[in-house]
Amino acid sequence: MNITVDLTGVRIQTERLVLRPFNEEDLEDFYEYAKVPGVGERAGWIHHSSREESRGILDMFIREKRTFAIECRGKVIGSLGVDNYDEEEFPEFAGEKAAEIGYVLSGEYWGQGLMSEAVKAVIRYLWDHTDLEVLLCSHYDWNTQSCRVQEKCGFVPHRNYTGKTRYGTEEPSEMRILRRPF
């Protein structure tokens, strides 16, 4: 079953990154990476066509309190959200406290291990500060970079399914899981 994680006031520092809630001042950095074709599509959304579109999503991030801004050297370069998973698609987790993470990173920063660093830090935070038992994370079959991040962070294959994008397509996908170490 889904549990809601509130990230209000949470700040996580890693060797190279700061993960923190988004704020209004992040709009330009957010729009800069969200408007690039191919970045959002890897996470299931179409790249942004305007600042106004980015502002609406930024406002949602702030309001819902479930998404970290990923900051590197004072610049927001991505996001990492702790969201509800699809309970209808994955009823097998009904008896466990679960959530799903999703992430996106500016293409300028791909291949540097930054997303793995961010995901590992958030996993540590979730195990230490919530009662989550299972963390889910999926990727489209063609998104081998996201699959590699999940492998590096200890997620193991759970099952294949058809993932739905926010732009109305369906993509062959794999759900991976990570169980709380007891």
pLDDT tens track for 26-35:
999 999 999 9
Alpha carbons 159 and 182: distance in angstroms, whole number = 23
| β-strand pairing of 98-105 with 134-140 | parallel
Instruction: Evaluate whether residue 28 is within a structural domain.
Output: yes
Return the beta strands (E) in 89-133 as ranges.
98-105
Number of domains the chain contains: 1
Per-residue pLDDT, 166: 83
**Domain for residue 3, yes or no?**
no
| Total-model pTM | 0.95
pLDDT at 18: 98
Decide if 49 is inside a domain: yes
In a domain, 92, yes or no: yes
Structural domain of residue 24, as residue ranges? 12-179
pLDDT band at 182 (very low <50, low <70, confident <90, very high): confident
Residue 5 lies in a domain: no
Report yes or no on 7 lying in a domain. no
How far is it, in rounded angstroms, from Cα 155 to Cα 168?
27
With cut-offs at 50, 70 and 90, classify the pLDDT of residue 99: very high
CATH number at residue 69: 3.40.630.30
Q: Residue 57: inside a domain, yes or no? A: yes
Asked whether residue 23 is domain-assigned, the answer is yes
pLDDT value at residue 127: 97
pLDDT exceeds cutoff 80 at 172 = yes
CA gap 91, 51 in Å, rounded: 38
